[in-house]
Structures are given as C-alpha cells and as structure tokens.
Structure 1
Amino acid sequence: MQPTGDFHVHTNFCPHGSLDKMESYVKEAIENNLQYLSFTEHAPLPRNFIDPTPASDSAMKWEDVEDYIKEGNRLKEKYRDQISILIGFEVDFIEGYHQDTEEFLNQYGDQIDDAILSVHMLKAPDNTYVCIDYSTEEFERIISLFGSIEFVYETYYQTVKSAIKHDLGKHKPTRIGHLTLIEKFANLYPTNKTFDSEIDEILKLIKEKGYMLDLNTAGLYKTHCKSIYPNQSVIKKANQLSIPFVTGSDSHEAKTIARGFDQLPTDIMLSVPSKIYKS
C-alpha cells in the first residue's frame, strides 16, 4: 500500500520553519499526487511555560492560531476538487502542564481535523525543562544535566508513556508523533542500552488504546540519525501488533512534502487520521 497523504506538515506560522506560505505546500502536495495534506503546526506552548530552547522558537504564537485555522479553511475550499486538506496541530505533552494542554484541546478541538501528540520537552532532574531535538550542543548539555545519556532516554520514554496514559479530554490526539525522536543525535551520542522493554510497553499501550503511530521520514535527513521515526526495529514490532501507521514528512518547507516516502516499508498497515473516518 502506497502513502496517500502527508499528515505531518508545518507552515510559515512555525518560528523555526521556513517562510513558505501554506498554499505552496498544497501545490507541492498536488504535484506529488497526494490525496491528503494535513497541516499539523506546533500548537502554542502553555502560556505559563517558558520555552527552554535557546531561540525560544519551539511553537507557534498564541495570537496566530486563529489566522492559521482561517488560512487552512480557505485552502480547503479553494482546492477541494484537487486534494483533501486537513487543519490541525502537533501538540506537545509536557509533564506538569496536562491541564493547560487539555484546555487548549477543548478550546480548538471542534475546529480541527487532525492532531499529533508528541514529546519534545523533558523535565530535568533539577526541575527545569529541556528540548531534546534542538541541536547537538544543546543535547550534549542535556546529557550533562541528566548525568547520562541512558537517563535522558529513560526519561523520554517514560514521558511518552505518560502522554499515552494521561487523560487529556475528549479531543486528545490519538496519533503519537515520531516515537524515536530521542535518536535524532544517536550517531553522535550513542547509547549501549536498547530500551526494548520500554518500547515494548509503549507499543502495548498504543495497541490497547487503539492509537496510531506517526511514520515520520524526517529522521532520514538528520545528519546524526539517518533513520525513519520510529526506527526499523520499532516499525517491525508495531506491525506485528497491527498498529496503524500514518505517513508524515514533518516538512517545515514546501519542497520536502512527501520526502522519503519512497523509502518507507511496503509491508505495513498504513492508515489515515481517525477523524476522517468520523466525518
């Protein structure tokens, strides 16, 4: 089964992305003969949460949310005869900010078509927060802060598990983003531990919940990763559990729409976001 859509796409509303307009992503998706394009911009971080990245550029601004949804709806209508456009968010699960996240989802859940639940932020041993995928320099600082790379990985998978288990209300996303994102710098900062038991437990929870996995090609193009998120080993395990995958390029510029889709495994269960089924 071939991918029918790119369901993990960012926009010019992302501070760490490109200035490419949303319409340019749509045109690229049509050029790639996609049936679906899902805009999943980084939801604004909780208002009382301080972005830990050096550039404070992790997510869209609160004041841009309405314009983002409005533009998505405009494009839906304009291109309705050529492609199905979804508008949604990639929502950060942050330990200690569950209430804020649920309130955001309750506010906008009825206005969106799609959503991804991801972990980028970890709570460190000193109770500060860190962003795991910002840069090699920042990741090196994080390892030092945690005391070992193994503890960073353990905390990441524990946070993902918490994200899956935690009740975020009726609009909680049912797709888990880039499950092995923690491996973004794995070739530069390797770990000897496999974390098989942690991943097995997470996959079991995903199966029990009836959730899906983001099949994310961005890692293929990261200098120190060169792997799909999740990696091939996890893909195989998830496939054995019949966990559905949803394809995404994690594009932050129009020209990378559907990038790497030709390298995706062909013997897995591909799906589309659950809200499509409910419409």
Structure 2
Amino acid sequence: MKKRDAHVHTKYCPHGTKDTFDEYVEKAIEQGLSSISFTEHAPLPSNFIDPTPEKDSGMRTNDLERYILDIQAIQKQYKNDIDIKCGLEVDYIEGYEKETQALLDHVGPYLDDSILSVHFLNCEGKWICLDYSPDSFKEASNILGGVNQVYDLYFQQVLKSVETDLGYFKPKRIGHMTLVTKFQKRFKPTKGFSSIKDTILENIADKGYALDWNSAGLRKPLCREMYPDLETIQKAKHLGIELVFGSDAHQAKEIGLGYETLTQILETLTE
C-alpha cells in the first residue's frame, strides 16, 4: 500500500504555521510518503461571519490564487520525487450551500483532491466553531441543552454535508467524521450515536465517497482517539468505503504522524 498523507495544511492557514511548502514536502519525502495532498481550509463564504475570536478559520479569498500557483510550482519542482496534489478542505455550512457551490465551481478545475468537513454549528441562531476550544464546545452545550444535543446537531450536519448537492466539484471525501469527540474527555455524552453514524456511512457508501481517516485526534489531549473511531471504521470497511489517511498536519513536523498506528489497526481489520 502506497504511503499517502491526504490532509495537510500550509502557511496559508491563518491559525497554522509559517513553514514553507518546501519544508512540508521535504518532511513528506523523509517520511517515505509517495503522495501528499495539500488541503488548506478554503475561504469561508463572504457573507458568513467567522465566529472564532481571530476570524482565522479559513484562508483569505485573496490568497486562493497564490495558494494554487505555489502548489503548481512545487508540483513541477518535485515531480520526480513525490506526487503532490492541490486540494482544499471545504466547510459545509448549512444555509450557505449556494456560496459554497459557487466557490467550488470557480476553483474546482484547479483541484486534484478535496475534503468536505463540518466545523460550524448553528446553535439556536448563534454560530459556534465546534472544535475551536473547550470553552466553545461548552458554550454550544449550554445553548443546546447538553453534550448529547451538540453531538446530535453535529452528526445531523455531517449527514447533510453528504446528502447535499454542491455541484460537479463537490468534495468526495468526508473530513474527520467524528470531530465532535475532540473534547470528549471533558464533555462526554451519555448516550451512543450509532444509528445516525450508520446512516451517514450508508449514505457515503451509496454515493461512492471516501472517509478521511484522521490521526489528529490521537494528538489532542482531550480526545486521544482517531477520527472516526474504531467502531465506525469497522463498519466503513464492511460497507466498502475507502479510508484515506490524513494527518491533518498544521506544521511540517506533523506530516505523516499516526500513519503507522492507523495502518496497523487497518491490518487487524483486514485479517
């Protein structure tokens, strides 16, 4: 199996690093990767107000062209060393589907890869970035009436992201499907969510989409679990859903982190 990291952020991420593309690529080569997908956070819709304090959830619209040109340049530079894909991590934000499709229609022809993720929840009229901090999660829980309700709303949004028509260039890989568990060691639900997760997986399988098998949760002190969890991965394998490893690196040194752990888990599931 080729070693690939298909969820990597860059210097264009406002909440990331200043590491250069060369540093990322050199680290990927050092890690023995045959392929890397740069999937920077896409610009948010211009009429959507980023709820994070620094308004730094997505790259600036003015940076999008330069981002693509930079990747095209390193694709040529390293064409004999590693397969480099140009991609985006696009947010599904309910109520902003037209704006999202317009972005995809515009930039889609230049992309080799992309991910569709949910980060923002509309909590009774107030938008909250679910994974920004424990405090933001707590605020969502307080508004919605509890941790269970946050999980319910999150998974409903993931399901809608799978079902919604975003045009020809809609991403065909669903990002960190269980991101809601990022702070689970502090905010633990009192029930399971197997039913809606199963529905999400069935829809992913029906559409022939793939799953971002994301190691970032293993590095988060209040999570310590991959996205999605092992039970979900087992069901995804049973349904024939493609699992695509992603480190969700936000700095060069994180490239490929967790690959060996997740590969070993995958091997036990296929034996």
- TM-score range normalised by the length of the shorter chain: over 0.9
Q: How far off its partner does 1:23 sit?
A: 1.4
Amino acid at match of 1:100: E
Q: Which runs of 4+ in 1 moved over 4 A?
A: none
SS at match of 1:266: helix
- The alpha carbon displacement at 1:233 in A equals 1.0
Task: Give the equivalent residue in structure 2 for 1:63.
Answer: 62
| Length, aligned pairs only | 267
Tell me the distance in 2 between the aligned counterparts of 1:246 and 1:260.
13
| CA distance in 1 between partners of 2:77 and 2:152 (Å) | 46
What's the counterpart of residue 78 of structure 1? 77
Identity of aligned residues (%): 45
Match of 2:100 in 1: 101
CA distance in 1, matches of 2:80, 2:21: 17
Alignment of 1:167-178 (within 5 A): 167-178=165-176
In structure 1, the partner of 2:247 is 249
Q: Which residue of 2 aligns with 1:186?
A: 184
1:217 is matched by which residue type in structure 2? S
What amino acid does structure 2 have at the position aligned with 1:257? I
What TM-score results when the alignment is normalised by the length of structure 2?
0.97
**1:201 counterpart residue number:** 199
The answer as to 2:134 corresponding to 1:121 is no
TM-score, normalising length: structure 1: 0.94
1:179 is paired with a residue of what secondary structure? coil
The one-letter code sitting in structure 1 at the alignment partner of 2:50 is D
For 2:258 and 2:242, the matched residues in 1 are separated by 19
Amino acid aligned to 1:150? N
Q: Any unmatched runs of 5+ in structure 2?
A: none
How far did residue 32 of structure 1 move? 0.8
CA deviations on 1:110-138 (whole Å, 9 max, x unpaired) are: 0110000000011111x121110001111
Letter in 1 for 2:201: L
Q: How does 1:22-61 map to 2 (within 5 A)?
A: 22-61=21-60
Within 2, Cα distance between the matches of 1:149 and 1:245?
Answer: 28
2:219 alignment partner in structure 1: 221
SS of corresponding position for 1:214: strand
Residue 56 of structure 1, CA deviation: 1.1
Q: Deviations over 1:56-106 (max 9, x none)?
A: 110100000011000000000000000000011000000000000000000
- Aligned partner letter, 1:71: D
Q: For 1:86 and 1:119, how far apart are their aligned partners in 2?
A: 22
Supply the RMSD in Å over aligned alpha carbons.
Answer: 1.0
Aligned equivalent of 1:240, options 224, 229, 238: 238
Q: Which amino acid aligns with 1:263?
A: T
- Aligned to 2:115, the other structure's residue is in SS state strand
Residue 9 of structure 2 is matched in structure 1 by: 10
**Deviation (angstroms), 1:27:** 0.5
Secondary structure, aligned partner of 1:226: coil
1:180-207 per-position Cα deviation (integer Å, ceiling 9, x unaligned): 0000000110011110101010000001
Q: 1:140 aligns with which of 138, 141, 148?
A: 138
